[in-house]
Amino acid sequence: MTNVDDPTRLDEVASAGRILVEVDGVSHSYGGPVVLDHIHLSIEAGSFLGIIGPSGSGKTTLLRIILGNLSPTRGAVRREPGKRVAYVPQVETVNWNFPITVSEVVLMSRASSIRHPWATGAERRDVSVVLEQLGLGGLEDRHIRELSGGQQQRVFLARALHRQPDLLVLDEPTSGVDVRTRHEVVHLLTDLHRGGMAVVLTTHDINGLATHLPRIACVNRELIALGSPRDVLTPKVLERTYGAPMDVLEHGGLLLVTDVPLESS
Amino acid sequence: MNLFEPFQFAFFRNGIIVAVLAGAICGLIGVYVVLRQMSYIGHGLSHSIFGGAAASAVLSVNFYLGAGLWGLLSALMIGRVARRGKIGSDAAIGVITTASFAMGLALSNLFGQAKRSIDAVLFGSILGVGGADVFAVVGAGALSVVVIYSCYRQLLFATFDPEVADVSGVNVARIEALLMLMLATTILFTMKVMGVLLISAMLVTPAATARMMTNSFSRMLTIAPIIGALCGFVGMLLSYHIDVSPGATIILIASTVFLVVFTVTGSRGRRNVGGLGHH
């Protein structure tokens, strides 16, 4: 596990690849209390990082700083030039009543480079290929509200993948989805990571998602710990992160984080 | 009664061309106004531009120059306040726009000689439309079509999902400023027929009607201007025959069309239009 006083140490040791994004001593406040304090974090090409922490811990702020649509109050963020970043927002933030079809959503990904309004034949074929890969073939003309929860999540993944990103960033990808959809998302992200794509996500879902990831950052205003789940998910770190006592068990080779019963805490 | 009798008058021919084009442009821009939930901004901006129109009338400055500069300035200020997204931005917009409107009314009271042209701007008038206005509306319409054609995908992305659009290389701030300028231009060039007090309804009603009829953004962008143009045509003709201001007649026709579509499309339409305020 990374030393709390020097959170970048293990990161640097573990990283032999190129650094896509380097968060260097970043602090942020929205005009009131500090929501992020002196965060050091680097994201290498082909890495897979999950950011966990309680609500209001600064996870989404950190994600927005990594994405570059929020400038930190202090510190610096360095990005490798020319690398494409794609973002998948929480499905709960999507306006499902917006009049838009599946293919229109996917085509948005290249809005900054293509000027003409309507998709060319080649673009439509590209979209079909991405949708087919994600098991959404034939749904091009369906309104986004008419899809199942899993399909809705995958449409926004399809939009991100259509951008052919070097770094895929996801905010709570398993929030508000059922167990089956969560499995689909975890498998899909694992495949993308194996294919060489760097993935960064935030999650509240420790057992369903975070324990499956190669590297976890525990954040609660500051970076509490950074490392593999086995190194990071300890009762001590979890209590510092969540402010409540938690137990870590092992079941079938997987870690299982549980609440400590009230009488024993 | 000869329904087409008014077409023998040049002022009416000008008026109906402007009304049809104004309806179409309002319908087109209204799609973005409705989907971005900017109807309050449209309402405020039209009131704000009234201040510039009144000042131009009093100072005998060209209407489009005076009200135009005022409108563009207001649009950029409102866009800036709205973009901050802080609680109370609607209050700030309310203060900016109603102060401008009140100034227009004060000027109107102080300088009575401008009252007629100011009334025309407030309520809309067929008589106030000349040949230059026709060219102005054609220009505004052409500009809107060119901007929407060339920035179609960026406008769509910034409307549907501004945060992700920003990360994906779309300059959302520039796109939003462009939209505000298009909105100001639309209001400026159509207010003589519609009237300041009613134009915001025309920015909302045809687009909301189109939303009930389709689930596709591109089809909504086609249907809304057609509804707006038809309402402009029928409303203007009716306005002449029943001697009611064109703005009021056009809006009443548009509202009737909305009600008919609302009834015919049933729960599907109600769900589509009911969801416009929810994310």
A100 touches chain B (CB under 8 A): yes
Q: Is A80 buried (19+), middle (13-18) or exposed (0-12) by CB count in 10 A?
A: middle
Interface confidence, given as ipTM, is 0.81
Q: Which of B32, B146, B161, B175 to mutate to test the interface with A (most CBs of A within 10 A)?
A: B161
CB contact A68 to B (< 8 Å):
yes
Cα–Cα distance measured from residue B140 to residue A96, given in angstroms and rounded to the nearest whole number: 32
CB atoms A108 and B152 under 8 Å: no
CA–CA distance, B225 with B138 (Å, rounded to integer): 14
Pair A17, A77 in one domain: yes
Compare all CA atoms of chain A with the CA of B272 and give the residue at the minimum distance. Answer: A97
Task: Kindly determine whether residue A89 and residue B164, on different chains, have CB atoms separated by under 8 Å.
Answer: yes
C-alpha distance from B47 to closest chain A C-alpha (Å): 28
Query: Would the CB atoms of B163 and A99 count as touching at under 8 Å?
Result: no
> Are A139 and A95 in a shared domain?
yes
CATH number at residue A23: 3.40.50.300
Could you write out the DSSP letters of every residue in chain A? ---TTSTTHHHHHH--S-EEEEEEEEEEESSSSEEEEEEEEEEETT-EEEEE--TTSSHHHHHHHHHTSS--SEEEEEE-TT--EEEE--GGGS-TTSS-BHHHHHHGGGTTT--SSSPPHHHHHHHHHHHHHTT-TT-TTSBGGGS-HHHHHHHHHHHHHHT--SEEEEESTTTT--HHHHHHHHHHHHHHHHTT-EEEEEES-TTTTGGGSSEEEEEESEEEEEE-HHHH--HHHHHHHHSS-EEEEEETTEEEEEEPPGGG-
Which residue range(s) make up the domain with A149?
Answer: 88-165
| Shortest Cα distance, chain A CAs vs residue B165, angstroms | 8
From first to last of its 265 residues, chain A has per-residue pLDDT tens of 444 443 333 343 344 478 999 999 999 999 889 999 999 999 999 999 999 999 889 999 999 999 988 999 999 999 998 888 999 988 888 888 899 999 999 998 887 776 778 888 888 898 999 999 888 999 999 999 999 888 888 899 999 999 889 999 999 988 877 788 788 888 889 888 988 899 999 999 888 888 889 999 999 999 999 999 989 989 899 999 988 888 888 887 788 888 776 665 4
Report the residue from A69, A89, A101 with minimal CB separation from B216: A101
Same domain? For A59 and A99 the reply is no
Mark yes or no for CB contact B168/A111 under 8 Å: yes
Asked if residue A226 lies in contact with residue A216, where contact means CB atoms within 8 angstroms, the answer is yes
| B62-110 per-position pLDDT tens digit | 878 888 888 888 888 877 777 665 545 677 778 878 888 888 878 777 7
Interchain CB contact of A83 with B (< 8 Å): no
Number of structural domains chain A divides into: 2
Minimum distance, in Å, between the CA of residue A253 and any CA atom of chain B: 37
**Structural domains in chain B plus CATH codes:** 5-270 (1.10.3470.10)
Q: Which residue has the tokens 């009314």?
A: B105
Cβ-defined contact of B164 to A87 (cutoff 8 Å): yes
Residues A94 and A222 in one domain: no
A245 is a domain residue: no
Nearest CA in chain A to B208: A99
Suggest the residue from B154, B168, B276 to mutate for an interface test with chain A (most A CBs closer than 10 A).
Answer: B168
Residue B53: partners with Cβ closer than 8 Å, 6 or more residues away: B63, B66, B67, B70, B104, B118, B121, B191, B196
